[in-house]
Every structure is written in C-alpha cells, then in structure tokens.
Amino acid sequence: MLGPRAKAPAPRHAFGRAFRSDVAVCFDARGHAFSVSSARVERAHHAFRSMYPLVGSDAATGWVHAARHGEFNGHPSGPFAFTDAVFSDIVTNFEALKNKAVPLTFDHPYYDGTPRELAGWVHKLVAKADGLWALCEFTEKAVEMIRGGSYRFASVVVVPKSTHRETGADIGAELLELAITSSPFIDGLQPIALSDAA
C-alpha cells in the first residue's frame, strides 16, 4: 500500500495521479482506508525504534515476498505501478538507512503516536524477477500467529516520491514499513515462509 511523505504539492509521477504529499493513506485490520499526517507516521516510527530493539540472534527469520511488478489502478490514493526502476529506488534508499532496519508490523496500525507491538524488523531488501523480497526477523508472537494461520502474506507501505531527511533531495520510492496481513492489497504474492529454526 502507498503512503506519500513527499514535498507538497506533489507533481504527477510514474505512480499515476498526484497524491497529497503530507498525508499517508493506510488501512485498518478490516480494510477501511484512513488518512494520517506524515508527521504522525514519522513520530510513530521513532517510537517503534525506541521501544522495540532488534529481536535477537536466535529469532526466526525468513524471506518475505513484499511486492510484485504490475500496474494497480484501484488503490484509494490513486493508480500506481511497481517497476524495476521503482524497486531499485526502494532497495537503494533502504541500503542508505543508517539504522539498516524498517519496522515489520501486524497489519497496518493507526498512527496516533502510540507505540504498538511489532511483528519484527526488515533487515534487507532484494529486487528479483518476481518482485521485491524482504529478509525479515520475526518476534515469537509473529511466529506463533504465522504458524497458526492468522497471517499469511505481506503488505508494503511505500512513499512513491520521497525526500532525503537531511538534504531534502528527491530520492524516489521509499519503503516506510512492511506489514504481515491476511488481506494484502496486492494479490498474487507468495505466502510467508519461516526459517526451519522457527
């Protein structure tokens, strides 16, 4: 799913219609769309990082199919496309992060500034022929719920035209978070597969 955090006003771009740049469009667990300010998204991510350190060396891991190539014209915030170029931007911007980690959430939580329980962390992104893959580290609760069938797929939160936090330069598409979910917007992703040690 998409959540723009770019400069206002956002121009037309490869994802289709211009988005409001200061608002992120998210979904709750029931699939209802809601909007929150990008400032709240940033505050929530900082709260996540301060409250939840990386899970640990013995945590379960797995490569998760985060997104696939294609054009998607039915999203509430407008049409968008995932192309090789978009995935390249997402991977490049992830590798540039000093923290080298992006939150892995349960569904897509509301961004009201309150820290919420994480499902784990994303540690690496790779663009392949069948889409974007994420190496994830899972909490024990996430492992239990995936094993139990409560969660089966992943769903991305991507800023289509992001800006560098320090320089303000345009940096293209950026992944804000990845969620485990039972109802991803993008159909056709491979189910989550945990490591043998999980």
Whether 187 is in a domain gets the answer: no
Whether 4 is in a domain gets the answer: no
CA 59 to chain centre: 20
Q: Which two tokens stand for residue 29?
A: 């667990």
Mean pLDDT calculated for residue range 102-125: 88
What distances in angstroms separate CA 186 from CA 28, 132, 165, 181, one per listed residue? 16, 12, 28, 11
Q: Which domain holds residue 127?
A: 23-181
pTM of the entire predicted model: 0.72
Mean pLDDT calculated for residue range 61-90: 94
Comparing 195 with 174, the larger pLDDT belongs to: 174
Whether 36 is in a domain gets the answer: yes
Please state the domain count of the chain: 1
Whether 6 is in a domain gets the answer: no
Kind and range of the H or E element at 145? helix 140-147
Query: Which of 8-17, 21-30, 139-148, 178-187 is the least confident region?
Result: 8-17
Whether 197 is in a domain gets the answer: no
